[in-house]
C-alpha cells in the first residue's frame, strides 16, 4: 500500500517578489502567483487527486483554492504544514539579514540553530515529517496535493537525508511540484524520480 503526496510550494507572493522573508507572516499572491497556481492544478489534471491539503497560511490557502476550482477536489487545511517560524527575521528583507553571522547555517544547513526567537531547521523538518506521515496514514492509497512552503520543504527533505547547501529560494520555484510516495509497509517516504 502507498499514498502519493504531490508536494507543492504556493504561488508567488508580493513579498517573494521583493525578497522579503515571510515565515509565518503572510502576503498576497501576485497575478503571476495566481497563474502559477492554475498551472500547478492543470499539471495534475490527469492524476486523479483525491484531496488538496494546504498550510493554514493565506498564501498556501489561496493557491489551494485556485487548484480546487480546477481539480474539483475537496480541500483541507493543516496548521502543522505552516512555514518555518523565522522569528524576528519575518518581515525583513533578505539583503538586511544576510550579514548575520549565522545566516548561512540557519537557511542553508540542517541544524538546531534558530533565527532570533524562531524555529530550527531540525524542528521544522520533524514537524513537517510528522504532519505528512499522519496525512498519508489517514488517506491510504490516495493521491494528495499538499500545498505549503519552500523553507518547510527544504527542512523536510533534509530530514529525509536530501541535504543541499542551497537555500529554499534557490531550490524551489513558486508552485514547483515534487511527487513523494509514502510506503505503508515499511513506513518510508520516497521521492519519485
End-to-end CA distance of the chain: 19
Judge contact between 55 and 81, C-beta under 8 A.
yes
Helices 31-43, 58-71: inter-axial angle, 10-degree rounding:
50
Judge contact between 112 and 120, C-beta under 8 A.
yes
Res 193: pLDDT? 63
For residues 80 and 145, give the distance between their C-alpha atoms in angstroms, rounded to a whole number: 15
| pTM of the predicted structure, to 2 decimals | 0.96
Q: Which domains does the chain have, with CATH numbers?
A: 2-191 (3.40.50.1240)
53: Cβ contacts below 8 Å, ≥ 6 apart:
64, 75, 76, 77, 78, 81, 135, 144, 145, 146, 147
Residues annotated as part of the active site = 10, 83
Judge contact between 167 and 3, C-beta under 8 A.
no
- pLDDT tens column, 85-128: 999 999 999 999 999 999 999 999 999 999 999 999 999 999 99
Going by pLDDT thresholds of 50, 70 and 90, the confidence category of residue 169 is confident
- pLDDT tens column, 6-25: 999 999 999 999 999 999 99
Annotated binding site for substrate: 9-16, 59
Amino acid at each position: 500500500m502507498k499514498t502519493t503526496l504531490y508536494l507543492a510550494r504556493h504561488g508567488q507572493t508580493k513579498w517573494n517578489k521583493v525578497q522579503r522573508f515571510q515565515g509565518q507572516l503572510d502576503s498576497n499572491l501576485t497575478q503571476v502567483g495566481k497563474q502559477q497556481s492554475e498551472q500547478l492544478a492543470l499539471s495534475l489534471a490527469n492524476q486523479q487527486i483525491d484531496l488538496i491539503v494546504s498550510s493554514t497560511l493565506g498564501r498556501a490557502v489561496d493557491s489551494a483554492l485556485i487548484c480546487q476550482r480546477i481539480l474539483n477536489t475537496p480541500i483541507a487545511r493543516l496548521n502543522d504544514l505552516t512555514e518555518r517560524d523565522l522569528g524576528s527575521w519575518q518581515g525583513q528583507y533578505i539583503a538586511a539579514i544576510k550579514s548575520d553571522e549565522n545566516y548561512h547555517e540557519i537557511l542553508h544547513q540542517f541544524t538546531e540553530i534558530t533565527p532570533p526567537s524562531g524555529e530550527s531547521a531540525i524542528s521544522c523538518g520533524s514537524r513537517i515529517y510528522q504532519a505528512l506521515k499522519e496525512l498519508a496514514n489517514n488517506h491510504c492509497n490516495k493521491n494528495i496535493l499538499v500545498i505549503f512552503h519552500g523553507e518547510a520543504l527544504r527542512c523536510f527533505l533534509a530530514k529525509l537525508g536530501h541535504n543541499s547547501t542551497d537555500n529554499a529560494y534557490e531550490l524551489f520555484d513558486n508552485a514547483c511540484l515534487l511527487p513523494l510516495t509514502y510506503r505503508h509497509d515499511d513506513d518510508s517516504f520516497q521521492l519519485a524520480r
